[in-house]
Amino acid sequence: MRYATVVLTWADGRVNTIDDTFARSDAVAIDAVRYLSPVHEGRFVELFELRGDLEHARALLADSAETIEYDVAGADGRGLAYVQCRSIGPVSELLAILQEHDIVLDWPMEFVDTGPAVDGDADRGLEVTALGTSRAIKRAAAALPAGVDLELRRLGEYEPATAHELTERQREIFQLAHSEGYYDVPRGTTHRELATTLGLSPATVGEHLQRIEAKLAASYASSNR
């Protein structure tokens, strides 16, 4: 089985209808889409990973014209949002293309910075890992509509990770952080310096490192029970 991890950006800057709502807020952000699917009567259901003020997330969802029903769970600035909505924007076309070409998604889809921050806001794209045959992946990539840019990040034979294993991208970031002395005492590098090397924002690097450290801690705890 082959996989391709790509970052997709839309020319008008839009990715997902609900994410567009959150993008206008400095208090809370969507880091990833754990799942989304059409349900019935043109409705969709989504599960988002949130970072920031969860009460503000509830207010944004309540005020959104696209929201039919929602629930937010979590604490300490990290949470999940379950959302039933009327539309999901441009990403719906992506799902249709993947389905047409027999492509399976490896969830989650992560929002990533794709350009330097301007006035505090960085351009955002959607990092997607697609599974299928080489031919199917190529056909799906060729079917992307005008106005959607694709950047290939990784390509190869798919090896599924367990819950405590780092993804290939996480291993890349962890190895760079380790080699640059991020875990030395005192630290040999900073989020900002790592971000410059990786082409990400410091905030995104910090989020990646938090997830990496959480997985490593869970793996250690599991092996020492």
Instruction: Specify if 139 maps to a domain.
Output: yes
pTM for this prediction: 0.69
In order of 169, 171, 172, 176, the CA distances from 179 in angstroms are: 15, 12, 11, 5
Among 105, 137, 157, where does a domain finish?
157
Task: Tell whether the torsion through CA atoms of 205, 206, 212 and 213 is positive or negative.
Answer: positive
% of the chain surpassing 90 pLDDT: 32
Residue range 78-96, pLDDT digits in tens: 889 999 988 887 788 888 8
Final residue before a domain boundary, out of 107, 132, 157: 157
Query: How would you label 102-118 residue by residue, b for 16+ Cβ within 10 Å and e otherwise?
Result: ebebeebbbbbbbeeee
Indicate the number of domains in the chain. Answer: 2
Residues 54 and 141 in one domain: yes
Q: Are residues 133 and 195 in the same domain?
A: no
Claim to verify: residue 122 and residue 213 sit in the same structural domain: no
146 lies in the same domain as 179? no
What distance in Å separates the CA atoms of residue 8 and residue 16, rounded to the nearest whole number? 12
Task: Note the pLDDT tens digit of each residue in 20-60.
Answer: 778 778 888 888 888 988 887 778 899 998 888 999 999 99
In a domain, 131, yes or no: yes
Q: Domain limits at 182?
A: 168-223
Same domain? 152 vs 193: no
What is the rounded CA–CA span in Å between residue 194 and residue 173? 9
189 shares a domain with 87: no
Quote the percentage of the chain above a pLDDT of 70: 89
Q: If pLDDT is split at 50, 70 and 90, which confidence band does 108 have?
A: confident
| Cβ-proximal residues to 41 (8 Å cutoff; 6+ apart), any chain | none
Domain boundary among 124, 157, 190: 157
Residues 114 and 172 in one domain: no
**pLDDT of 117:** 46
Tell me how far apart the alpha carbons of residues 2 and 130 are, in angstroms, rounded to a whole number: 8
Domain annotation covers residue 141: yes
